[in-house]
Amino acid sequence: MPLNAIRPHIKPMLLLAYPVVLSQLGHVLVNVCDSVMVGQLGKVPLAAVSLGVSVNTVVLVLGLGMSMGITPLVAAANGKRDVPALGSLLVNGVWLSVLAGVVLAAGGLLIAPLLGYLNQPAEVVALAAPWVRVLFLSLLPLMVFQGFKQFAEGLGLTRQAMVLSILANVINALLCYVLIFGRFGLPALGLMGSAWATLIARVLMAALMAAYVLRARRLQPYRAAAGSWLQPARATLGRIFDLGAPIGVQMMFEMGAFSFSAIMIGWLGATSLAAHQIAINVASVTYMAASGIAAAATIRVGYFRGTGDAQGARQAGFTAYGLTFVFMGTMALILIMARHAVPHFYNHDPEVVAQAATLLLIAALFQVSDGLQVVGLGALRGLEDVKVPSVVALLAYWAVALPFGYWLGFKLDLGAIGVWVGLLTGLTLVAGVLLWRFRQHSAVPTVVPEAAVSR
């Protein structure tokens, strides 16, 4: 698409994207903080965090995806200036998020005892199981936060969630330091200190985000149109679920592939698993930044779709693609240059550092593919196209990436490197298919002039 066509969309996209980027980074920076501080305790606690995060993330993204069904519906209703619909989406979006949070939080009680069946080092499982239980509890307040956040972001109000995410991460970092190492007279809880810090920070995030949406003057018309909070509308709940469930499933397939890759790498020992945690932790930071641009693409594409401007929706989507390509390409170069220095922030074991540096080189290579596939998903969500991308993710990650990675890693004895090359292959395949699908589904029909028809 010509640069002149997307230039008017660049500034509005960036203004929407940068707060979402910082807000999305809030989710992953919790894990970064945990990994950096726990890594000072040794490679076994760091490997336990890797195992715990891998399991928790699969469930977490299912909930996040469910809540993301709120945003394109809100954006489209906002484009139509449909205040009653927005009021209904507010109530029912929060209801669905809370219900999902209760179910996900309860999952920790069921999943923690099963960690021993994943064939991981016994000392790693012993540390990870109680950590996972507390981390799963934090999913309930996180989903409450998501319900209010996704509604606000659908209206283009992205800065509030950004501010709250930054505040929560500062609090999480301070609590991690205090509770892990036992400062200011408190006992040193070690690994468990990071889990309790995450729970406290997420409770605060939920309370503050809810307070904003329920008190902000600019949102009063939607609250007035919401009706009773005690009587959710089954039809609206169904619409959000029908859109959000495929998004959650797609994200679960993707994150599940990364989590299972961590389990496979765990078969190689604690050193490889700790190195994997460092590399995936760093890569997840840039991924969440691209995910923020994808969220902005959902809002912009959904808004133009709501107004009936198909050309504007297409241009907004390709603007997001261009911004992501430039950003992720830059991040790839930075990772290549810094791959030997970054692991030392996490751990000082020479074997862990050496393996992590090699994996970061592969992570640098898949930065562009990773960014383009997530922005493709965001643009397609704005078009309310969510089911086919879920199938694409299932096939690319579970039928291609993981089997190929297993073959390279264990049959050809490439170890963790082989597993990561498999992930790179899956990401590239998904990115290509989704780019093609967006081009097809956003195409503007050619209108033949009446004069030409009459001739």
pLDDT tens column, 45-77 = 777 777 777 777 778 888 888 898 898 899 888
How far is the CA of 410 from the CAs of 37, 210, 228, 231, in angstroms?
31, 48, 57, 54
Burial class (CB in 10 A: 0-12, 13-18, 19+), 79: middle
Q: Tokens in use for 376? A: 């493709």
pLDDT in tens, 190-246: 778 888 888 998 999 899 999 999 999 989 999 988 877 878 888 888 889 888 888
Tens-place pLDDT, residues 322-361: 999 999 999 889 989 988 888 888 778 888 888 889 899 8
| CB neighbourhood size of 224 (10 A) | 11
214-223, long-range: CB < 8 A, 24+ apart: 218/157, 219/152, 219/155, 221/83, 221/87, 222/83, 222/86, 222/87, 222/90, 223/87, 223/90
> pLDDT averaged over the chain?
83
Question: Which residues lie below 8 Å from residue 416, measured CB to CB, with a gap of 6+?
Answer: 265, 268, 272, 275, 276, 355, 359, 409
Residue 447 has pLDDT above 60, yes or no: no
Share of the chain above pLDDT 70, in %: 92
CA distance 289 to 28: 10
- Could you report the per-residue pLDDT of 119-141, keeping only the tens digit for each? 777 778 887 888 888 888 999 99
Average the pLDDT over each of 27-36, 224-233, 411-420 and give the range with the smallest value.
Answer: 27-36
d(CA 452, CA 281): 58
| Gap between the Cα atoms of 426 and 261, Å rounded | 12
| Both structure tokens of 339 | 């791959």
Q: What is the mean pLDDT of residues 138-158?
A: 90
From the CA atom positions of the chain, what is the Rg in Å? Answer: 22
Confidence of residue 276 (pLDDT cuts 50, 70, 90): confident
Rounded to the nearest angstrom, the gap between the alpha carbon of residue 93 and the centroid of all alpha carbons in its chain is 18
The arithmetic mean of pLDDT across residues 273-296, rounded, is: 81
363 HSE (CA, 13 A, CB side): 29
pTM > 0.75? no
Residue 107 confidence (pLDDT): 78
Q: Report how far residue 242's alpha carbon sits from residue 68's, in angstroms, rounded to the nearest whole number.
A: 11
